[in-house]
A and B are shown apart, each in its own frame.
Chain A
Amino acid sequence: MGITQILFWFLTALALGSALMVVLSKNPVYSVLFLIVTFFAISGHYVLLNAQFLAIVNIIVYAGAIMVLFLFVIMLMNLNADMNLQKSKLLKFAGFIAGLCLFLVFVAALKDAAIKKSLVQTNTGEIGLIKNLGNTLFKEYVVPFELSSVLFLSAMVGAVVIGKKE
């Protein structure tokens, strides 16, 4: 087994294990922390695919920003492990059915997918490098890219303007 395989299996085990712990752990703070570990494992996979930009953006946006807000909310609500949340049987059953449906959709979608052909070629995988990504974004997708960046910028300016209004 080469170093890539060892890393791949380690990251896969880490991602799946911590993703399971997100659902299984009783303490919501632990859930959030395990979710952060999951994001790191997925970023590790991106690095293995030579998609460094995607890896670091995943960490900045999800682990660095969104999860901090999650942690904020959960810490302020101060949910504790010993505080038993009331969950009705019906709700649990509905959740189970919904989960199964999602699983079914995934299986159906991936059943006929040509996985063999679309396997990432680790030897020539350079599409994820920032230079190639930038070329693609600014040549083929320049209008949607500019539109979405203007949208983000205006959202941020809007937040400041709302803050300035007393």
Chain B
Amino acid sequence: MTLLTIDWVLLTEKLLLVVAIVMISLVIAMYETYAERKVAAYIQDRIGPDRAGPFGILQPMADGLKLFMKEEIIPNTSNKLLFILGPCLAMLTAMMTSAVIPWGSALHFKMFGIDRMVTLQVADINIGILYIFGVVSLGVYGIMIGGWASNNKFSLLAALRGASQMISYELAMGLSLIALLMLTGSLSMKTIVEQQMTQGVWNIVYQPLGFLIFIVCAFAECNRTPFDLAEAENELNFGYHQEYSSMKLGFYLFAEYINMFISSAVMATLFFGGYDIPFFDEAAHIASWGATPVALLTGFVFLIKIAFFIFVFMWVRWTIPRFRYDQLMNLGWKNLIPLALVNMVITGALVLLKQNHWHF
């Protein structure tokens, strides 16, 4: 019984946090679409959307409204239940990962006679990284179910491609994370961030190769160009969401942007110190400024790091052309996995040496 006693204050706190994170993810995903078009325009020497509002800032609203207003079409020969379930699953798995990411240091909340520290993390479980891995491995279902239920051979082909691509790159991703885990010795995201804060050195310094493998795998897991084989429009018309219209299509497109946001957050957490502010002593400033301003500042810095990674995602998309399918598989299985294994062995050897005080 003591494992699961309900603390109503805790429940409301977590509920509010979940709502806030979901809202923030949705708004950021909305403005990612705007940013993507602006970045693309800049790279291709165009102006980009500039009609709706100043600098086209209202463009995502217009796009969203357009998607809502479109006619809802469910193909006659499709499997109706699974056809609707597909985009729901894609959206759900995209959102679920955000539960274990620490968004900032603790807020100090003092109101209505309640005095408590509110951690900006929905669940600090001691299997945080494995949880992310589990949810990522479930991301396949949205694509597969949607592609199959459309009852269209192009959709099915695209779904199979997408699924096999995601399964292949999960392996290299997991192996690159094992090396990181050897260093940190913890699976909890919060502990990993706190370690980087106390060390003052981010994990990227120890694991540059691991990070490189991880970021390539993240591109593949998000189905982004250069790895967007599942929606290669010149080969497969429009990919797995070909039969979708209206907001169901919107969900698939949106899930991609949320995935991008969340995987940027994961990369920033694991390799770039999470909400750590470089050259800034958080603990000392919590004592002098109070917890809440520091928490907001750390959260803001974390968002800046995430924004940088989102920019990298877009930068890569608009510079590197799409891979061919066999090239994609070769890269995943024959290059990234051996590299990740070598990285793992070297890291293991160095960790062991360090424990022996650098004697063989």
Contact = CB atoms under 8 A, between A and B. Distances in A.
Nearest to B149: A29
Highest count of chain A CB atoms <10 Å: which of B138, B163, B167: B138
B144 interface: yes
A105 interface: no
Interface string A115-139: 0000000110100011100000000
Q: Is the interface of B mostly helix, strand, loop or mixed?
A: helix
Interface in B1-37: 1-6
Interface residues of B, number: 35
A65 B139 CA distance: 11
B160 A72 contact: yes
Contacts of A130: 126-127, 187
B126 A52 contact: yes
A60 B6 contact: no
A71 B230 CA distance: 17
Contacts of A60: 130, 133-134, 137
A3 B138 contact: no
Interface string A20-47: 0000000001000100100000000000
A4 B2 CA distance: 9
A63 interface: yes
A64 B164 CA distance: 12
Contact of B138 (A50, A52, A64, A76): A64
A57 to B, nearest CB: 7
A123 to B, nearest CB: 5
Interface residues of A, number: 36
B285 to A, nearest CB: 32
Contact of B334 (A36, A65, A76, A164): A164
B130 A163 contact: no
A76 B147 CA distance: 12
Contacts of B3: 4, 48, 50, 122-123, 125
A75 B134 contact: no
Contacts of B159: 75
Q: Tell me whether chain A's interface is mostly helix, strand or loop, or mixed.
A: helix
Interface in B111-164: 125-127, 130-131, 133-134, 137-138, 140-141, 144-145, 148, 156, 159-160, 163-164
A55 to B, nearest CB: 8
A166 to B, nearest CB: 12
Nearest to B85: A33
B109 interface: no
A2 B2 CA distance: 10
A14 interface: no
Given A29-B82, A75-B160, A122 B134 contact: no
A123 B337 contact: no
B337 A3 contact: no
B209 interface: no
A66 to B, nearest CB: 11
A142 interface: no
Most buried by B among A63, A68, A159: A68
Contacts of B125: 52
B147 to A, nearest CB: 8
Contacts of B6: 3
A157 B341 CA distance: 9
Nearest to A81: B79
B337 A156 contact: yes
B42 interface: no
B126 A122 contact: no
B4 A3 contact: yes
Given A56-B133, A75-B148, 14 more contacts: A2-B1, A36-B141, A56-B134, A59-B134, A64-B138, A68-B137, A68-B141, A68-B144, A122-B3, A131-B126, A153-B341, A156-B171, A163-B333, A164-B334
Interface of A: 2-4, 7, 29, 33, 36, 48, 50, 52-53, 56-57, 59-60, 63-65, 68, 71-72, 75-76, 122-123, 125, 129-131, 153, 156-157, 159-160, 163-164
